[in-house]
Amino acid sequence: MDPEAFRSKMSGLAFGNVMAAAARNYQKELLAQQKPQASSAADQEVDLDELMDDPELERLHADRIAALKKEAEKREALQRKGHGECREVTEGDFLGEVTGSEKVICHFYHKEFYRCKIVDKHLKSLAPRHVDTKFIKLDAENAPFFVNKLAVRTLPCVILFRKGIAVDRLVGFQDLGGKDDFTTKALENLLIKKGIIEENKEDKDEDEEVKSNRRTVRSSAVYDSDSD
């Protein structure tokens, strides 16, 4: 055989052996990486199986179900009392409505007054969100006895009752900036401040998320300015 051809053949065989060895090493590394992952997945399956039989977890789940059931029963009982919507009541029903629930918001209104319609719109939005409090409205023109008894002089007038006793009131829009374009949220915050409704947990969580996002945006802006 030609010496040059022999050397070329041997060189080719050596290169092939090197590539084969490299391929074997690469395959070993892949297997080594896959084994811990498979092991971890198996461990996770075992852990999940153990959790499914955990008595403490079962107790927490049962407590949660019981709490949700109790909350649903409470909501249904309140709705039977007229909670969850802003209802029109008559002068004859007024006393029973006010004394029948712990917290009541009553809007004394006149059907021809534009500002009364604004208040009515906001209270209708709030009533389903605050079922613990009863929302009612009373036509002041058809309720002269209670208008006089409660000294209602300016409309709209929203009177807040606790256990049948008038504890506070909103007269006109003087507590809402004196303008017609106040938001439902502004009225909600005012009523929360006065203690006649409570802040919803969902709203509180949402506000915290908004604040967190704002902090993140500010932090990012500072970081970007430093990097310039």
The pLDDT value given to residue 53: 67
> Quick one: DSSP state of residue 88?
E
Distance of CA 31 to the CA centre of its chain: 47
Structure tokens at 29: 């590394």
The CA distance from 4 to 98, in Å, is 111
Give the predicted TM-score (pTM) of the model: 0.61
CB–CB of 107/86 below 8 Å?
yes
The CA distance from 182 to 174, in Å, is 11
Neighbours of 182 (CB within 10 A): 17
Strands (E), the chain: 86-89, 103-109, 134-139, 157-162, 165-171
* CATH class of the domain defined by 84-198: alpha beta
CB–CB of 136/89 below 8 Å?
yes
CB–CB of 110/144 below 8 Å?
no
The pLDDT value given to residue 103: 97
| Local confidence pLDDT in tens for the 228 residues of the chain | 555 555 555 555 455 555 566 666 666 666 666 655 545 555 555 565 666 667 777 777 777 777 677 667 766 766 677 789 999 999 999 999 999 999 999 999 999 999 999 999 999 999 999 999 999 999 999 999 999 999 999 999 999 999 999 999 999 999 999 999 999 999 999 999 999 999 986 665 555 555 556 555 555 444 444 434
Distance of CA 162 to the CA centre of its chain: 27
The pLDDT value given to residue 194: 96
